[in-house]
Amino acid sequence: MLEQLEDLVQKIASSEAKEESKSPQIQKETGGESSGKFETPAGINQNTDDMKVKCYIWATRVKTYADDSTNEFDNLCTLIAQDKYILNRMHLASLQAGTYIESEIVSAMCLILNQKNDKRFREQVYCLPPDIVSMAVSKHPNGKFISPKINKEFKVEDYPMFIPFIDGKKLASHRYIFAPVCYSGHWWLWVIDTTNGRFYILDPLHKKAPSNGRKQLNKFTGYVISRIRAYTGGAPLKKKENELEIKATYVKSSGQKSSYDCAIYVMKWLELIEPENIKRAKYEWDNWPQEEVDHYRVEYASRILFSEMNKERDQAIRASNAIRLSKPSSVLLSPFCQINSTDVETE
């Protein structure tokens, strides 16, 4: 039996968990998968809190076998969006506490939110998957319009593998575009009001551009988003030469308390930010305690794997249900509980 759950209970009760200043290595463990008999998905309620915890443990647990091979590249999720978007265990393992989250997780949440059947995402807000934008800014350091790496200007058609995941109809028709951006391991969010031609940046770490290089990078980012919109059939965000001078205003707001939670904030903001409430470059909201931010990592694992868009959803439900916690406790159902693979038994 692995380490007993009492240790976790004591840690939560004492509230003495220390914040890590540096992202640790993704945890690995040895052993085999549970060989327990699976129930049918129809007989399993995947919406309970303990199932979410089990899903998180199953999805983020990277194992090393006797021959030194691992399961980190096992495909766990195939989202059926406009095309098949595939996530492997290594992507999900980045949801472990204190770890920098992979771009594919943010893209997956964009695809899932864009399919939600509520007014916000059906009519008002389109979440632009970050794949093309983030790859473009990495190839154009400091926002150079002619890439010093490839000596070319940005063209959407140079990223054919990601174009199918863009919903051109919604990108053109929705008033607000929410575009997550990642550069040098840090995430921030563009919020674009296409009706009034207003551009905002919500950065979990910065209340203004931290450097002149970032200012230029932001101009390039605005250009990239505009070109993607035009490529898929919508109007550019600005016309002709003005497209190269798109300037976004930084919004003053509370943000992350650690060095590695920026992606969590950006993903939550996709659902929470109301652009009409941005007043004088400020956005007032109640920030989360660190324990709650940590718990969102648990939530995102099940939201992705249990999504009806996931072709492997039934497999994820069965595998998660096969996980056995060492000693179930009401503490596990707390919204501030953080669980990892040392708190479970396998059969």
pLDDT in tens, 60-97: 999 999 999 999 999 999 999 989 999 999 999 999 98
Contact 332, 49 (CB under 8 A): yes
Q: Which residue has the higher pLDDT, 59 or 326?
A: 59
Cα(130)–Cα(179) distance, integer angstroms: 7
Which residues make beta-bridge pairs with 200?
191, 249
- Residue ranges covered by each domain of the chain: 34-345
Residue 155: what are its φ and ψ, rounded to 5°?
-140, 130
The predicted pLDDT at position 191 comes to 97
CA 189/CA 290 separation, integer angstroms: 20
Least confident of 77-81, 107-111, 151-155: 151-155
CATH architecture of the domain with range 34-345: 3-Layer(aba) Sandwich (3.40)
Q: What is the mean pLDDT of residues 187-202?
A: 96
Distance, CA of 19 to CA of 342 (rounded, Å): 19
Instruction: Give the mean model confidence (pLDDT) for residues 338-344.
Output: 50
**41 — pLDDT class (breaks 50, 70, 90):** low
User: What's the token pair of residue 12?
Assistant: 């939560």
Number of residues assigned to the chain: 347
In this prediction the pTM is 0.83
DSSP character at residue 342: G
Contact 166, 228 (CB under 8 A): yes
**Regarding beta strands 324-325 and 344-345, do their DSSP bridges make them parallel or antiparallel, or are they unpaired?**
antiparallel
Max CA distance (Å), the chain: 65
Q: Report strand pairing: 62-64 vs 28-30.
A: parallel
